[in-house]
Structure 1
Amino acid sequence: MNKVILKNEDVATIGVRGNRDRCRLILYPDVIVCCCLKTKLLQSPKYGILWFIPMIDLHWTAPLSPSNDDIYTGDELKSNLKSSYKELEKIPKSQAVISSRLSKAIRRQENEYNLAQSKLQLVLSNSPTTSSSRSSIRFVILFSSAYQLQDWTDSIDKTKQELVERSSTLLNPVNTHHQRLTDSLILKRLEFVKPNLQEHNPHDSSLMPKPSKTYSGTLHITIHSIHGSALFSPILQQQQKFPTLASTTKNNYQFYVAVEIDSYNTFYPYAQTAKQAMRQQESVEFKGEVFQVELEYSLAFRLLIYRFDTTIKNNTNNNTQRSQCIGKFHRNIETALHECDRDLNGILTIESPSSDLKLKISLKYSKREGTFKRTGSKRSLAVFGKSIEKLLSTPNGCIDGIPRIILKCIEMVDRDGLKETGIYRVCCVTSDLQKLRHQFDRNYHRGEEMLTEKNVHVAANLLKLFFRELPEPLFTSTLYTEFLNAIQLTDIDNQHVILLKTLESLHPDNRKILFYLLDHLIRVSQDSDINMMHLDNLAVVFGPTLMRPSKLIVNNYFFGSNQRLNAIGTNTPTDLDQMSSELQGSMYQCQVVLACLKLRRDGLLK
């Protein structure tokens, strides 16, 4: 009996009735098994079989479009997670039992949130997709990240290839291999599968894994280059099959790197480099592309290297073949930052297990500050750093009371970005964004022309940058305390009344721009089943951007409450007070924007 487990992970699946379930997917050398944990853990085996497919019969496809099943987006789940993380931060290290119990609850919430965010599909069947046999079966597995999906497809491909190579008799139709893989045999194998610690004994807090250090701030990721024979070795294999293409095939490929970062233990796509050709043998340079990523309780990042075939037309039938993942890396943020610090040049070299692929990057982390540098621009023609009042009074600076730059960016996102995964969350190359910003300040019309030449993520990031550099936040510093007082009210009806009243106090120009932006973000959220940007994610992106005031206001507002909580009897704020107030302020800012989005969506904010 084959007890070797090659891969074993909890995943999301779509059931027969279209509902989502969490199950355990196990890959053996000869079979892939989907099972679920039994309610009574004293039974043996502890898992029950949902289905299994012999590896020799297994076929898989990964549709490009995400799952469109109706599923709760996870807004409330994420809000609950935020509260739990904040509560965990306040618990003293001496209270280990309470901390462990809360950690256990957080893990359950993270699993539920991950289930809601899983959209990438892997379709497994026992026959080719073109087959219409009555005996064919088909199952859909869902993943939250491209890395996780790629990891499973790589393992399945490798396992099936090794199985075929080990025994050519498996290709014989009269082979009795299928008869040996019975339910009873699979159940015997499952006796050796141990549940997760939190599943096995949920009442024993001593078995709970200790929470790792998380990061909430800004991570600057610089992609330098990729090297190795893996860049072209698959191409050489093709050249052996098609010798006539040997002189041109290598030049038909470009390469790019995609970045995924976790938030609340769920990974999201955050950035992607421009496609670059191989200028030197076994080397691709990315000209030091820098991405500025806002972290939110993040632990790790993932990098995927893709090879892009420029000869294949972009259509439904062939698009799946255009980009092929040739390498993937997973790194802990804390460890990677230390490795960068130890290098004299601040460069981290990540190498594949087979040493055929190397990726060079740099990382720089800065803590989340309590304020943006909201300083006004002295240039008369400037667009960035100019107050709303001055911008609206500039000739041709607005259209129907909306600054032109806001209008143009939103028009571009409405036209090209509503179906883009991670719109407003995915960052663009920092240098490209700054060049476009300076062009708008020098020559507005040329800036608009350059914007039309960029991809939609540049427009989305430019809009965020505009609001971030306003000398006065859109919600205004004057009303900041009132907004935060309102959002902390536990009575929801009273909270809505106070928020609506405070919004009425906004200057009419600010209110008109805010409503225009909220309407746009609501349109974006309506395609959240595709772009993964539901209202909560959008509020996280735009909360500090629209609300964060001067540091003076944040300090004055929060230090008093922190001192009361700590009861330290001193009026001097500590570094811990400063950090706590900044994180707490950021959380409240996101909650205010989320509440406004929901009020506008429900027709209560007019």
Structure 2
Amino acid sequence: MMDVYQEAVNYLETEHVPVVVEAEADVLEEDVFQEEAVSCYLSPLHSESLDFPDTPTSCSPEEMLERRLVVLKGILESEEVYLRELEALLMPMKALRASAGTSQPVLSSCQVQTVFYQVPELRDLHQSFYSGLKARLSAQCQTESSTGGERETSHTGFELMVGDLFLKMVNQIGLYGGFIGNYEKAVEVVHKCTQSDPRFRTLAESMMSNNNGSDKTRTTYTFEALLYKPLDRVTKTTLVLRDVLKTTPVEHGDYSSLQEALRLSRSFLSGVNESSQSKREVTLSHGMRRQLMRDGFVVDASEGERSLRHLFLYTDLLLCTRFKHASRGKHDQYRFCWYLPLAGLKLRWVTEQERSDTQIRVHTMRAKMYFLRQQIQQHKAKGSKAMAALAARHRKKLEQMELMLMVHSPVYRLDLHSPSGKTHSFLLSSLYELEEWREAIHKLTTDNIETVPPDLLTLTCACGKLRMTQQPPLHSSNPVEDEESLCGTLTVAIHSACGLQQPACVYVCVEVDGNAFYEKQTQTRSSVHSLNPHWDQELSLQVDGAQNLRVLCVSQSDGQDDTVLGKASVTLDSKTLNKRWRRQTLHLGQVEVTLSLKYSHHPLDPPSSMAQQQQPVFCVPIGTAAQQEGVLVPHVVRCCVEEVERRGMNEVGIYRVSGTASDIGVLKTVFNSNLREAVTRLRSVEINAVSGVLKLYFRELPEPLIPTELFQSLARTLDIQDINARLVSMLSLLQSCPDPNRHTFLYILHHLQRVSEKQDINKMSLMNLATVFGPSLLRPPVVGLGHDGPTVDISQEVVVQVQVVFWYLKCNNLPEAETSLQHATDAEDETTHM
């Protein structure tokens, strides 16, 4: 199809309407910062500095790398001078802030805030960039001196990677936006106070900066001249990046990062220019103007097929576009897909069930990506020019595969329903990111802003200048490994939550970032309906390059949509995380979630090309089930007990009346394959089916819950006439059981005692409950399997089984059951406020 823009141009020409050609349109972008108060301080940024440069073909890669090194050293020197200027500007800030609290302030607290707005942040940004660049260049010089030969220049030049430093700096260039927006006010304060206060005038006219770091040589600036330095610096950023990219060979690992940094810088300056030209803005109701609030890459599923799209959220509408890369030297373009007014827009998010063939495809892609990355690292280790070029090609392929994974892996869908009947959907892999989108859209829809019909051609063309998110979030595009990121196994134990406004069934979702070779998300089972849910559930993730942990608390209601109650993001510090548990309390809005973290660093095995299936829990030794779940009481036991206590305590004949065999069979199958789905099904089936699943679990244990070798000893305790002595002996024997057996047995005993407290209603006394559970929890030794001691007559077996469980239930001082492993920590609980 013909490009939308070209269609419009052709139409206007046929109607004899003058059209501004591209060269004329570029003129509008030459002058950055159009307001009069700012334009007098800035020189125009010429269009030649905005176009992507063609890599010179007349120079060899070795000559280009030599020039590149000279350029980088010049940038380092320039950064050093700029940092000294920022330090000079910040020098009086502390004193001025201190005097603001006195009876005769030089500047008020508000004026100090205005004058130095964003300056400390800019200083920290450039200090980080300067330190990183200096370290890389120092290492490069040492490498060159150690090789001692001209022939190795290209080799070491290819090894010098700085693109990530420039990209990291430019990704934070938005700090300059705040400074630019505040600049006019800051200059106004300086002018006003210079005229009215002799103390400030003396300071403002004699700001000092060390030259070349020497106390002997100083440069004198005025306050206003130092305030201008950041403006001058930001307009030169594009020129600096252009020079670095121009001297970087295309096959160099830095090329794509520098290209992206140049695009970001250019887009930022164009965005500043765009925002300054108020005549292009659209006035909405309540006197507001249409502004871009958020943008990002999503998977559009509106037409039944998955397509990667760039989504733009404006003040009054949502615009979906298709990005079209332009040839070098041209402007990138967007093509219109669809838009929805925000007024009256209804939102609903759901989790889609992945098809088995899609799961296999996704896991196969992950395995291929893992091996591609292994090859890239091997090629880089060899260090030759040919290997560097091969690594660059593999990295390009890895990025393409990660883009494919972005399209096929999302399972969270946000449906958008317009009052006009239009419906669109988009997908994301991260529930955290989807909730950010939902919150941003919901906030704007509640403002009830009337939508002004947009000029779609103008709006779509403006996306190239206004966009904040330049590229899909590909982890593989970063060529430099971060030493602080995690690689190994991260285990998160979710303990409990508090702060719910009303009882709810709640689950916790955990996400990590990093390479997409492994699953980056997992979640707990749903809790019982409660104000203070408890899980004590361990979640394990294989992480590669992880730096952030995201935690969401989600309420799940029968027949209604899930609701995110709160979310938080935590930085993963490889220096503090280790194999010992570290306990934290996260504040997710009004909800607090208590969890523990531990981390084991180790090389990762290749990901499986097939989806990992949950291990079965039925007909498996209880110790095995508890170990694979990282608990002391298996989840199937806890889930069934919690559900019975939620809605079965008043059920007449609970545990005695059998449930429907088909329901019990379905629940058993689902518990063996998908814990979360099993918990969801528990809420909708008849309660006797739930109690039947619990009894079936204990009946099908390969070994009884109370080990067989204790049967004879427990039978003999029944002959002890003194009741207290009998109970002491029985509790002593219980201590010899393995931990999962003992704690599960205690957990069941406490539950059955609570059931019997309602025996006036449910008709289930301690003896009735012991009669039901005795044969399942305790079994006699099988003759001929090597068990010593006299056999028990079959008529007496049931009596022993029932009596042993009955006397345990009669005990008033049963030890408390522990449901999960102890998460011991080295220090006090740490509370993280988010």
> Which has the bigger relative contact order, CA under 8 A and spacing at least 6?
1
Structure having the higher strand fraction is 1
TM-score between the two structures when normalised by the length of structure 1 = 0.47
Structure 1 or 2, whichever has the larger Rg, is: 2
TM-score between the two structures when normalised by the length of structure 2 = 0.35
